[in-house]
Structure 1
Amino acid sequence: MSEVLRLARQSLLASFGRATEPEEPQALSAPGCCFVTLTINGRLRGCIGSLEPHRSLARDIIENSRNAAFSDPRFPSLTGAELEQLKLEVSILGAHHEIEVSSEEDLISVLEPEIDGVVLSFDDHRATFLPSVWEQLPQPEEFIKALKCKAGLPENFWSEGMRWYRYGVQRVEGILSEHGQC
């Protein structure tokens, strides 16, 4: 089992008193950022993450695992009974690279579906979609419309002041079995 999954798993199990608090491995001590996505039977159950590194990658994995379980405002807190059905996905974000475009058509033409994670930033509006979102929104036009809506903007909105960034991820996933193993 990878250290990444071990940390996410142990963080969740410790929250329910089923494991000790995870120790942060030296191999994950460099600054890093991740998103932790929790699903049950293919349905989203929580997703929280960091867009910028502001602590060790190990600490980010631990904290985002707990936040996905207990602090995603779209869902009630995870219950101990749900642990047995839980699928974990940890997406470790790579560096962001600004996409220089002058129109939505330009943006759509340079995106790489299923590869690019995308960040939209405009004034106080900011949102991201991980590369895995392409599975639900495979058409770039729909992907961008949905990202704008997530950022609180109209789907047909465009401004020269919008900033677009792409990033890749390393994705690690596992399932918590009834014995607490990934």
Structure 2
Amino acid sequence: MEREDRLTSEQGRYLIDVARKTIEKALRKTPAEPDSSGGRPDAGLFHVRRGTFVTLTRDGQLRGCIGHIAAQAPLIESVRENALSAAFRDPRFRPLSADELDRIAIEVSILTEPQPLAYTDAADLLAKLRPGVDGLIIKKGYHQATFLPQVWEQLPRKEEFLTNLCLKAGLDPEAWRKGDLEVLTYQVQAFEEES
């Protein structure tokens, strides 16, 4: 991620706070307050369109993760939307309940623009992967899936990472070996809630 695109730790903490307050307001069913600049760190980057993901964990286990790879809205709006989606619309989980709120941890990920990864065959693809650095998008026809770079922590072996990503996309688990997938990479600046 380019230095001018990077957020400070203070800005990251602010975005985590925005995500938590957005979820809290939804649970209390109170209307969202208009955004004010009070207490907000320098907000120039908050209005730039960026891809974002919001991840919720509970006791170290995934509890919801939703995002947009492509920049669809200004950064701060994208974080709000994805916080609500991760909490209440992730189809893998039941909606978050009020009694869980104090037990979840929030992570906000800011994505770079995805770039095509040219490769010739499975061996070349494996050689070009950068575990822990790159997030990966695979596409084939109508099938598509992504794993954030953080997923390398759970799936550190390149073959296992690709196999699981193919499964997530609804493809044959060995589809990556055939060399006909469109592959894109991106990087992430992630901010985790302090416990």
TM-score by length of 2: 0.85
- The corresponding residue for 2:22 is 11
Tell me how far 1:95 sits from its aligned partner. Answer: 1.4
1:1-182 map, 5 Å: 2-17=13-28, 21=32, 23=35, 26-27=43-44, 28-158=46-176, 159-175=178-194
Amino acid at match of 2:137: V
* Structure 2: 5+ residue stretches without partners: 1-9, 38-42
Q: Is the 8 A contact 1:24 1:59 kept in 2?
A: no
Looking at structure 1, the residues matched to 141 and 51 of structure 2 have their Cα atoms a distance apart, in angstroms, of: 23
Tell me how far 1:139 sits from its aligned partner. Answer: 0.4
**Identity within the alignment, %:** 36
Matched residue SS, 1:112: coil
Looking at structure 1, the residues matched to 26 and 51 of structure 2 have their Cα atoms a distance apart, in angstroms, of: 21
Structure 1 residues 19 and 86 mapped into 2: Cα distance closer, same or farther (>3 Å)?
Answer: farther
* Structure 1: 5+ residue stretches without partners: 178-182
Write the deviation string for residues 116-136 of structure 1: whole angstroms up to 9, x where unpaired.
100001110000000110011
Segment of structure 1 superposing worse, 148-157 or 21-30 = 21-30
Aligned residues: 176
TM-score by length of 1: 0.90
Q: Is the 8 A contact 1:120 1:163 kept in 2?
A: yes
| RMSD of aligned alpha carbons | 1.8
Matched residue SS, 1:52: coil
Amino acid at match of 2:171: L
Looking at structure 2, the residues matched to 173 and 13 of structure 1 have their Cα atoms a distance apart, in angstroms, of: 18
Looking at structure 2, the residues matched to 15 and 6 of structure 1 have their Cα atoms a distance apart, in angstroms, of: 14
Matched residue SS, 1:58: helix
Q: Is the 8 A contact 2:122 2:179 kept in 1?
A: no
Tell me how far 1:88 sits from its aligned partner. Answer: 0.3
Looking at structure 2, the residues matched to 67 and 138 of structure 1 have their Cα atoms a distance apart, in angstroms, of: 27
